[in-house]
């Protein structure tokens, strides 16, 4: 059959009847569409079928399916409606073919087969296209739900089937507390507390709250369950499986879970945030203290210098002897002590400038021990050192690091009662980091547990004499060298100071 001649002759009649049937036979959705739209879509579809039947070129059908399919999908048409609209071509053309080719059954059948192949190709193409669009829309909808999950926990709680997949993907802990027990938990919640999900389910919620926060958290929980006013957002300390307590932030709402009231919440680890806030407060406090101490130190230092010079001049005179001379010597010592305190305050307050050069920590410690050798001998302290034969060098400001180490050694000397011991070891740390660790351990009276968290705070001291700046200055110097320092109780008695400094990279 000559499809070109056939379609050219019947074009107007086919298009006209196609428009009429679309308005009345396919679906109500087509009825109210504008005439210009019918002209555009039907002519495009007719042209695509023309190319396929006459030229055996299906590329135009591909284009029409993409253009019209997207347009109809966005307008809310169903796949079935669009397929019926395109199948209308078959019902219009086949009767014309049969009529024109009456008496030639093989040719008629062949022509109808070609038309059917063309329609089958179109229908399948629309099916694939609508499926792809539907899948894309589903993906977009899933992404939208994921973005809103934190702000819409109430809505998510109403449909467990809808949110279960999403809550497993979020990194915050997600849980449901019903009658005081965990009845639902995502993996993040169990990981935050050091358990598996199976270990969490059915366990009392109190197992996950640190003792110091338990009363306040339970008071809030009871208020929420009893429909009294309760905070939705609060900070507390969670308890891990190993007994550790860590700062945590909870957002909890009252919901209905499997027909019963329950507390649904999201908890977030805020350990890093708390540490940052603490460092910011410390920096602000140190800056304020620095301003005050610098001003006071300068005001005090000048009169002290004048007093000390006067005392030294009086001591050179032979007019003072016996008790009077001894009083002047004591006065000179006390003025010297005050001057040292002022110097410590200035050292702490002023910004430090460092001249970093490769050096040996072992050699530096030995020189520090030599500098305070008299103090060690006076108290009869036995000092032992343990240094490996070969140690990497470290980048240090020799003078500043000596100041820090001497402060730590003097603290150890003062802590030892009578004859005691101070053990000093230097070693490389284990693991991938290339740090040098220095340990100074004494067998003195130690530090009471209540004071341990504050030992590095400026001006904190339990001594009758001293400014409380020795450890603060040592910490400041060591951290400026990109190191770290900590104090822990020694066994059976005493204190252990451990600080680390990064080693020089080998070339």
Query: DSSP string of 411-455?
Result: HHHHHS-SS-EEEEEEEEPSSS--EEEEEEEE-SS---TTTGGGT
Instruction: Give me the CATH topology for the region 357-502.
Output: Heat Shock Protein 90 (3.30.565)
Number of Cα atoms under 13 Å in the Cβ half of residue 446: 11
Q: Kindly compute the dihedral angle of the four CA atoms of residues 332, 333, 339, 340, in this order, to the nearest 10 degrees.
A: 160
Position 78 scores a pLDDT of 86
Position 87 scores a pLDDT of 86
Q: Give the span between the Cα atoms of 305 and 370, in whole angstroms.
A: 29
Residue pointed to by tokens 């169903």 = 78
Contact status, residue 340 vs residue 305, Cβ threshold 8 Å: no
Contact status, residue 269 vs residue 192, Cβ threshold 8 Å: yes
Answer whether 155-269 and 357-502 agree in fold. Answer: no
Smallest Cα–Cα separation from 88: which of 18, 29, 10? Answer: 18
Spatial CB neighbours of 48, under 8 Å, sequence gap ≥ 6: 60, 61, 63, 64
The number of helix segments (H) and strand segments (E) in the chain equals: 17, 12
Position 386 scores a pLDDT of 93
Query: Strand runs (DSSP E) across 139-180, as ranges?
Result: 173-178
What letter would DSSP give residue 233? E
Q: Give the span between the Cα atoms of 485 and 500, in whole angstroms.
A: 7
Q: Give the span between the Cα atoms of 204 and 303, in whole angstroms.
A: 66
Position 365 scores a pLDDT of 93
3-class SS at 291? helix
The residues spanned by each domain of the chain are 3-146, 155-269, 274-349, 357-502
Position 131 scores a pLDDT of 84
* Tens-level pLDDT at each residue, the chain (507 residues): 788 888 888 889 888 888 888 888 888 888 878 888 888 888 888 998 899 888 989 899 899 888 888 888 888 888 888 888 888 888 888 888 888 887 677 888 888 888 888 888 888 988 888 888 878 877 887 788 677 766 665 565 555 555 555 556 677 888 999 988 999 888 889 999 999 989 999 999 999 999 999 888 888 888 877 777 777 888 899 999 999 899 999 888 888 888 888 888 889 898 888 877 776 676 666 656 666 666 666 667 667 777 777 777 777 777 777 777 788 777 777 777 677 666 666 666 566 678 889 999 999 999 999 988 888 888 889 999 999 888 889 999 998 899 899 989 988 998 888 778 999 999 988 766 678 999 999 998 888 887 888 787 776 666 656 566 778 888 888 988 989 999 999 888 899 999 999 988 653
Q: Give the span between the Cα atoms of 441 and 131, in whole angstroms.
A: 73
- List 497's β-bridge partners, or say none: 440, 487
Contact status, residue 79 vs residue 130, Cβ threshold 8 Å: yes
User: In the CATH scheme, what architecture does the domain 155-269 have?
Assistant: 2-Layer Sandwich (3.30)
Position 507 scores a pLDDT of 38
- List 489's β-bridge partners, or say none: 495
Contact status, residue 349 vs residue 297, Cβ threshold 8 Å: yes
Smallest Cα–Cα separation from 385: which of 429, 434, 422? Answer: 422
Position 394 scores a pLDDT of 92
- Strands 382-386 and 421-428, bridge-based pairing: parallel
The superfamily (CATH) of domain 3-146 is Globins (1.10.490.10)
Q: Give the span between the Cα atoms of 400 and 485, in whole angstroms.
A: 15
Smallest Cα–Cα separation from 435: which of 386, 507, 502? Answer: 502
The CATH number of 274-349 is which of 3.30.70, 1.10.287, 1.10.20, 1.10.10?
1.10.287
- DSSP per-residue codes, 444-490: SS---TTTGGGTTSTT---SSSS-S-HHHHHHHHHHHTT-EEEEEE-
Q: Give the span between the Cα atoms of 235 and 254, in whole angstroms.
A: 18
- List 357's β-bridge partners, or say none: 396
3-class SS at 264? strand
């Amino acid at each position: 059959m000559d499809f070109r001649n056939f379609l050219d002759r019947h074009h107007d009649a086919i298009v006209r009847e196609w428009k009429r049937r679309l308005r009345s036979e396919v679906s109500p959705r087509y009825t109210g569409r504008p005439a210009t739209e019918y002209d555009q879509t039907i002519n495009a579809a007719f042209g695509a079928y023309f190319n396929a039947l006459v030229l055996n070129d299906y590329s135009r059908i591909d284009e029409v399916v993409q253009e019209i399919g997207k347009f109809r999908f966005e307008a809310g048409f169903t796949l079935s409606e669009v397929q019926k609209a395109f199948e209308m071509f078959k019902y219009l053309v086949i009767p014309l073919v049969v009529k024109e080719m009456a008496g030639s059954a093989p040719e008629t059948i062949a022509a109808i087969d070609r038309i059917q192949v063309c329609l089958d190709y179109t229908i399948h193409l629309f099916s694939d296209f609508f499926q792809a669009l539907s899948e894309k829309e589903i993906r977009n909808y899933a992404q939208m739900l994921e973005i809103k999950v934190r702000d819409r926990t109430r809505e998510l709680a109403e449909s467990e089937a809808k949110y279960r997949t999403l809550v497993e993907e979020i990194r915050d802990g997600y849980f449901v507390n019903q009658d005081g027990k965990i009845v639902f938990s995502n993996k993040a919640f169990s990981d935050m507390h050091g358990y598996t999900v199976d270990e969490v389910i059915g366990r009392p919620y109190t197992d996950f709250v640190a003792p110091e926060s338990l009363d306040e958290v339970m008071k809030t929980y009871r208020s929420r369950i009893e429909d009294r006013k309760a905070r939705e957002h609060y900070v507390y300390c969670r308890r891990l499986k190993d007994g550790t307590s860590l700062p945590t932030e909870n957002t909890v709402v009252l919901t209905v879970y499997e027909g019963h009231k329950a507390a649904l919440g999201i908890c977030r680890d805020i350990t890093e945030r708390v540490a940052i806030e603490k460092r910011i407060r410390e920096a602000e406090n140190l800056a304020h203290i620095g301003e005050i101490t610098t001003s006071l130190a300068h005001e005090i230092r000048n009169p002290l210098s004048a007093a000390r010079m006067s005392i030294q001049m009086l001591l050179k005179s032979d007019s003072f002897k016996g008790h009077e001379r001894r009083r002047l010597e004591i006065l000179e010592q006390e003025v010297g002590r005050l001057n040292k305190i002022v110097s410590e305050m200035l050292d702490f307050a002023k910004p430090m400038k460092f001249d970093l050069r490769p050096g040996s920590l072992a050699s530096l410690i030995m020189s520090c021990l030599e500098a305070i050798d008299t103090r060690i001998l006076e108290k009869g302290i036995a000092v032992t050192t343990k240094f490996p034969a070969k140690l990497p060098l470290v980048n240090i400001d020799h003078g500043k690091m000596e100041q820090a180490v001497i402060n730590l050694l003097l603290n150890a000397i003062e802590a030892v009662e009578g004859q005691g011991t101070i053990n000093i070891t230097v070693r490389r740390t284990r693991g991938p980091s290339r740090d040098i660790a220095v340990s100074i351990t004494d067998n003195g009276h130690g530090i009471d547990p209540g004071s341990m968290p504050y030992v590095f705070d400026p001006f904190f001291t339990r001594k009758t004499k001293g400014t409380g700046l020795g450890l603060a200055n040592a910490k400041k110097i060591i951290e400026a060298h990109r190191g770290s320092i900590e104090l822990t109780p020694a066994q059976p008695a005493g204190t252990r100071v451990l600080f680390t400094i990064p080693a020089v990279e080998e070339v």
